[in-house]
Chains A and B, each alone.
Chain A
Amino acid sequence: MSEPRVVVTGMGWVTSLGHTVDGVWKRLMNSESGMAPITHFKAATFPTSFAAEVKPDFDYRTFLNDPKVHATTALNAQFALGAARQAWNQAGFHTHPPKDPRRVGLYLGAGEGVLDFDNYAGALISAWDATTQKVDGVRWAKAALARLEPLKEIEQEPNMSLAHLAREFGIRGPASNCLTACAASTQAIGEAFSMIRRGDADIMMSGGTHTMIHPLGVTGFNRLTALSTFKGDPTMASRPFCMSRDGFVMGEGSGMVILEKLEHAIARGATPLAEVIGYGSSADAFRITDIQPEGRGAAAAINAALQQAQIDPAAVGADGRPLIHYISAHGTGTKENDSIETRAVKVVFGERAKHIPMSSIKSMMGHLIAAAGAVEFMTCILAIQHGMLPPTRNHNDPDPALDLDYVPNVARKCAVDTCISNSFGFGGQNDTLVVTRYKAG
Chain B
Amino acid sequence: MPQKRRVVITGIGTTSAVGVGTESIWNALISGQSGAKLCHTFDMSGFSCPFVAQLAADQLDIKQFVPKSYRKATKVMARDIELAVAAAHEAVNDSGLVTKSHEAADGKITLPANRMGCQIGAGSIAAEENELTVAFASSQTADGEIDLSAWGSGGMNNITPLWMLKYLPNMLASHVSIIHDCQGPSNTITCGEASALLSIGESMRVIGRAAADCCLSGGVESKVNLMGVLRQFYSKRLATASLGDDPSTIIRPFHPSATGGMAGEGGAILVLEELESARARGAKIQVELAGFGASQSFCQDTVGIGVEADGAGIAQAIECALQEAGVKPADVDAIVPFGCGVPDIDASEAAGLRKVFGERVSKIPLVTISTVTGNCGAGFGAIAASVAVQCLRAQQLPARIQGGKSGESVGGVDGASIGARDAVLNTIVVTTTSLGGQNAAIVLRRIS
Contact = CB atoms under 8 A, between A and B. Distances in A.
Given A42-B149, A112-B124, A125-B136, A154 B303 contact: yes
Given A125-B137, A159-B191, A175-B295, A137 B46 contact: yes
A118 B146 CA distance: 6
Q: Is the interface of B mostly helix, strand, loop or mixed?
A: mixed
Contacts of B298: 166-167, 172
B437 interface: yes
Q: Is the interface of A mostly helix, strand, loop or mixed?
A: mixed
Interface residues of B, number: 97
Given A41-B148, A148-B230, A181 B168 contact: yes
A180 interface: yes
Contacts, number: 305
Given A69-B302, A137-B46, A121 B187 contact: no
A41 B185 CA distance: 37
Contacts of B322: none
B174 A283 contact: yes
B113 interface: yes
A318 interface: no
Interface in B139-169: 140, 144-146, 148-153, 156-157, 159-165, 168-169
Nearest to A175: B296
A283 B302 contact: no
B234 A153 contact: yes
Nearest to B127: A216
A267 interface: no
A42 to B, nearest CB: 5
Given A41-B148, A150-B234, A128 B182 contact: no
Given A118-B146, A125-B145, A172-B313, A162 B296 contact: yes
B276 interface: no
Interface in B180-212: 180-192, 198, 202, 205, 208-209, 211
A251 interface: no
A135 interface: yes
Contacts of B418: none
B406 interface: no
Interface in A212-262: 215-216, 219-225
Nearest to A41: B148
Interface stretch (B37-45, B260-268, B278-286, B362-370): B37-45
B393 to A, nearest CB: 29
A130 B137 contact: yes
Given A140-B226, A159-B434, A427-B170, A72 B303 contact: yes
Interface stretch (A43-51, A328-336, A406-414): A43-51
A427 B174 contact: yes
Given A180-B170, A429-B170, A285 B177 contact: yes
Given A172-B316, A191-B187, A285-B182, A163 B170 contact: no
B163 A428 contact: no
A439 interface: no
B133 interface: yes
A337 interface: no
B226 to A, nearest CB: 6
Interface stretch (A12-20, A54-62, A286-294, A338-346): A286-294
A194 interface: yes
Nearest to B132: A124
Contacts of A429: 170, 173-174, 186-188
Given A163-B303, A179-B169, A225-B161, A428 B174 contact: yes
Contacts of A130: 137
Interface of A: 1, 41-47, 49, 69-70, 72-73, 102, 105-106, 112-113, 117-118, 121-122, 124-128, 130, 133-142, 144-145, 148, 150-151, 153-160, 162-164, 166-167, 171-181, 187, 191, 194-195, 197-198, 200, 215-216, 219-225, 281-289, 296-297, 300, 304, 425-429
